[in-house]
Structure 1
Amino acid sequence: MELVFNLLLIAGGIVLLYFGGEALVKNAVVLARTWGISSMVVGLTVVAFGTSSPELAASLAAALTGSPDIAIGNVVGSNILNILLILGVTALLAPIQAQAQFIKREVPIMIGASLLLFVFMYTGEQVGRWEGLASVVLLGLYIWFLYRSSADENPAVLGEFDQEYGQPVQTGWRTYAGLVLGLVLLGVGARLLTIGAVELARAFGVPELVIGLTIVALGTSLPEVAASITAALRREPDIALGNIVGSNVFNILGILGLTALVQPVGLPWESIQRDMWTMLAASVLLWPFLATGYRLGRREGGVFLGLYVAYVAFLINSASQNGAG
């Protein structure tokens, strides 16, 4: 009975996170367009960061309730899932070939953000408030870089983002109410998901880190799944890629940075290093496809998806062996 209750908590938390993220993104896009921000910058910042809002809510909730392993596992697991699973499925549905030059430039930034975690690991046992502040400052510079780069972009790419995010909008009390509702749903959903995940981990003897890397990461990444698959079906590959790359950068610099500012996050180096290397390898694997202009086709999507299945199987196997030991 307790198992069913914990699973219901996790499922309910994921549902609330999904709808909370959707409400936040939808209304944040309306506000950003009202303020005169270009549709491309909206797509690469407001939407990419907005779809990462469930990860932020879940990581904050986990850190504040004394489960730092779930917080760090959520960030690392979401980044692995975004590239291998979401881009893999997206490429299977519709081959991806990026036209946007700046997305190709962003991938090294994503790799650099991943490497920053290794720096934090080697310089201390936690991401403290100073590291969190440095991460948030770097995120601000990244947003400024996007804003400056978008002015020199390919007209076809600009049109793609205008079609998706450039519609005339009107703000009113419903927009602000939607923002508040989204934040409330995110907060409640994150709390339910964290409680359910921690109790499930304890019941089965599975490390909280593994729960964070799998169940929590998948649950909080649902907005990225929806956004990327929708963009792929509409034949808008740059939006799908921009969402994933932007989300991965925000997951490390924004989520981990903001979480550490509120509550320093311990880094379980011995147990997380394997997953950090996997995250870095997945990021590096994506780079050749964008740097050379070679498309991410169905064959490559299948490889990405296969790698993710193998990674999760390895996690489950390792957890079962540790439990047996």
Structure 2
Amino acid sequence: MRKTINYYLQCRVLLRLMGGPDKACVHRFLVPSAAGQYAFNWNFYPANSTMLVNILIICLGFAGLIWGADKFVFGASAFARNMGIPPLVIGLTIVAFGTSAPEIFSSAASALAGEPELAIGNAIGSNIFNLGVALGVALVIKPITPPKSLARKELPALILVSVICGLLMFNRYIGPIDALLLIAVVTFFIWKLFRGHRSGEVEAIEEEEIPDNVSTGKALGFLLLGLALLIISAEYLVDASIEIAAILGVTSGIIGLTLVALGTSLPELAATVTCALRGHHELAVGNIIGSNILNILVVLPFPGLLAAGYFDSSLLTRDYVAMMVLTALLVALCYPAIRARRQLGRLSGLAFIMLYLAWFGIMYYQIH
């Protein structure tokens, strides 16, 4: 069905480009195939038209992923609550992982399509975008005061997870053992959260994110609708991304690092800027750090489990290094600011943005 819809859209675009659906015009770019049907005449087929179609599919895929993730979290949270599961458990599992659902499902679809580099590029590229653009833009719009809890919990966890990621990527191979190790780490983190988050304040915050007074049938409907949207949108997004990579003559990892990472990270950008404008400084920074940790621990295991293999060295020497440089900048800025009780201002935001642009420029130069 996916190929049929894509074929139909391409036909419509080509008909528009050729000036109308007359048969003489159609036969200029369609030729009879062996099966008695028509196939594209690739010698005539304009490359720009398929690019436009795939970009349209990718945009629709992003919209489906984001909207589907929202409905999935809503339905799953309400259904779990109706089943008697405590709000704390729901908040630390469904709500927490639901925010990274676009990255998770696009990574799974990439691995199933035999494109592990697209999945790895999505995870690393999303982390680079979160720090370089989402946090950078938020700081430029409004300075943020990093909370003390970052120094004790979130930042050490981010450093540990980032180092583990580098050690696993060092041999340029992601396999089942690497994936299981990452799953073990995220399981340990969840266990620590269950033990550490026992205060009424934390549980009250989490309860606000869980829908109330929703029937079980309605909750299950939203859950299935969101899940279907996530699966279908991820599949279309990955297929269109692979086609764009082929047209541009670049690896799927490049598309994952840029286009896919940008689209799947738009919710983090919106959430971080909104939290900064409303003065929720802890949520603004914590959202970025939490998303980056989950991208490594939850998104990266998919290529290891479903499409184990070697990946391009640039994902390690260029992109992982860029992620670590941005992470190091975050650590270097946050710890002194926490000790001195001062804000991270617009200059800090510009530093993140400039590093992101520098990384993007280096990548552009290398592929051209």
- 2:132 is aligned to 84
TM-score (norm 2): 0.77
Match in the other structure for 2:359: 311
In the TM superposition, what are the counterparts of 1:64-143 in structure 2 within 5 Å? 64-99=112-147, 101=149, 104-122=152-170, 124-143=171-190
**Contact 2:172 / 2:316 at 8 angstroms: preserved in 1?**
no
Which deviates more, 165-174 or 50-59? Answer: 165-174
Question: Which one scores higher on RCO, CA 8 angstroms, separation ≥ 6?
Answer: 1
- Corresponding residue for 2:285? 241
| Equivalent pair of 1:289/1:295 in contact (CA under 8 Å) | no
| Mapped partners of 1:31, 1:72: distance in 2 | 32
Deviation of the 1:144 alpha carbon = 1.8
- Which has more helix, going by share of residues? 1
Q: Provide, for residues 144-199 of structure 1, a one-character-per-residue CA deviation record: whole Å limited to 9, x for no partner.
A: 2223333369x6xx499369537755452222221221221111111111111111
What is the letter of the counterpart of residue 205 of structure 2? Answer: F
Displacement of 1:107 after TM fit?
Answer: 1.6
- Answer whether contact 2:88 2:203 (CA < 8 A) is retained: no
- Aligned CA distance change for structure 1 residues 31 and 298 (closer, same or farther; 3 Å): farther
Match of 1:151, SS?
coil
Superposed displacement of residue 309, structure 1: 2.2
1:44-55 to 2 correspondences below 5 Å? 46-55=94-103
- CA distance 1:45–1:100, change in 2 (3 Å): farther
Give the gaps of 5 or more residues in structure 2: 1-48
Residue identity over aligned pairs, in percent, reads: 34
- Counterparts of residues 1-325 of structure 1 (less than 5 Å): 1-30=49-78, 35-38=85-88, 42=91, 46-99=94-147, 101=149, 104-122=152-170, 124-151=171-198, 158=202, 161=205, 165=209, 170-292=214-336, 293=338, 294-320=342-368
Quick check: 1:49–1:247 contact (8 Å CA) kept in 2? no
Task: Name which one, 1 or 2, has greater alpha-carbon Rg.
Answer: 2
Q: Which range moved further: 165-174 or 202-211?
A: 165-174
Count, aligned residues = 314
Unaligned 5+ segments in structure 1 are: 321-325
Distance 1:263 1:198 in 2: 16
Range with bigger deviation, 291-300 or 64-73: 291-300
Please, what is the CA RMSD of the aligned residues?
2.6
Q: Secondary structure at the match of 1:283?
A: helix
Please say if residues 69 and 208 of structure 1, whose CA atoms lie closer than 8 Å, have aligned partners that are also in contact. yes
Which residue type is aligned with residue 188 of structure 1?
I
How far apart in 1 are the matches of 2:357 and 2:213? 41
Q: Tell me by how many angstroms 1:211 deviates.
A: 1.0
